[in-house]
Structure formats: structure tokens, C-alpha cells
A and B are shown apart, each in its own frame.
Chain A
Amino acid sequence: AQSVTQPDIHITVSEGASLELRCNYSYGATPYLFWYVQSPGQGLQLLLKYFSGDTLVQGIKGFEAEFKRSQSSFNLRKPSVHWSDAAEYFCAVGAGYAGKSTFGDGTTLTVKP
């Protein structure tokens, strides 16, 4: 069965600093990988996705992620964080025709002024 681990429960960065959120997955085949963002009390919004091709993928809001098969990782990065990036971030792995996804427990990002 697939699984996702987000090792960092909570991360605090200063506005303008760089950001990296970690995600490790477990899946037997080539995975579909996603990063979603959730503002408090809201639904999830897709930031970016990977399923084949270039291992560095670009997403919305200036985010990017790199798929590293050897490390089973799909870390999310942003070169310069804005206060509006404060939210909860979820990594997910999808599998199978059903489109089911397994989500990590999330990382809460706090941005200091």
C-alpha cells in the first residue's frame, strides 16, 4: 500500500526567506505525486503535480518541486516566501485508475514578518 510521510509538522520562516517542505512516499511503481495547499477552514488547492517527464515541476504561486526516485522524495520549494503563503501544505501520492490519493499529515507553515 502507498504511504506519504511529511516529517515536519510545523515550519516557521521569515518573509523573503527560502522554503523547503519535505515529502517522502512509499509506492511500488511510478507514482503520481501532488502538493496541495489549504488555508484555514477552506478546501485544498492543487499547487503542482508530477507523473512523468521532467523531474523538476513548476506550480502556481511560485512553487516548484523535485521528484527524486532514488530518495523516494518530492520536496516542495519556494525561493522567497510571502506572508500570504502561510497555510497548511499536503503532499499526496495517487495510484491506480480510481484516482485515489493518499495524503500526508500536512505541514503548517508560519511566516514571520
Chain B
Amino acid sequence: DGGITQSPKYLFRKEGQNVTLSCEQNLNHDAMYWYRQDPGQGLRLIYYSQIVNDFQKGDIAEGYSVSREKKESFPLTVTSAQKNPTAFYLCASSHPGQTSHEQYFGPGTRLTVT
């Protein structure tokens, strides 16, 4: 079945450590996105990528980094510079060439930093 996988489901880190969240899709979508979700604040866009080897900052990119070396993969690194990294992180993909622009979401990774 086609879809988006995110691993792990839960992730725990100590303050000051970088951590990388995985996102893989087999939908053959060109565009991929990373969102952060906090209670009562909806989804906020961290980074997005429209094509391999290219990505753009979203609304809250500070303290995060990404890479897009393969079409299927869009890992997100939460660096020690991110002041409040504990959150639920969602990865999504879409096929901008299609009319609808709908996004397909992974199951999310809950990151806890103590």
C-alpha cells in the first residue's frame, strides 16, 4: 500500500542533543512538508521541498534543518538551537502537478526533550 511512514512514533532526547526524524513516502509525490503541532495552535509549517535537492523555509524554520537527497525521503533534524522542541511532528506529501493539491500525512512523531 502507498503511504507515508514516520519513525519512530515516540522519541525522547536530552536537551542539547540533535535528533533526526524520519519521513519516507512511496506515493511518488514531488513535494514534501514538515509541520509542527502544538496543542491549540494547529499545524505550523517548518520546511517544504518541491523537488529533490531543493527545499524552502516555512514559517518556523529556526532551529531545524532538512535534506532532500531522494524523492522518497525528507528527514528533519531538530537541532539544539530549537528552544522548545517538544511537540508532535507531522510529515506530509503532495503532487503539485495535480489540480487538487491535497496533502497526505504520515502518522506523526511525538518528540519529548527533557
Contacts and interface: CB of A to CB of B under 8 A. Distances in A.
A70 interface: no
B99 A43 contact: no
Interface string B81-103: 00000001010101110011111
Range of interface residues on A (Cβ < 8 Å): 20 to 34
A104 B40 CA distance: 10
Interface of B: 4, 31, 33, 35, 40-43, 45, 48, 50, 88, 90, 92, 94-96, 99-108, 110
16 contacts: A9-B40, A32-B100, A41-B88, A42-B107, A42-B108, A43-B107, A44-B43, A51-B99, A90-B43, A98-B50, A99-B95, A99-B103, A101-B103, A103-B42, A105-B40, A106-B42
Interface of A: 9, 32, 34, 36, 41-46, 49, 51, 90, 94, 97-101, 103-106
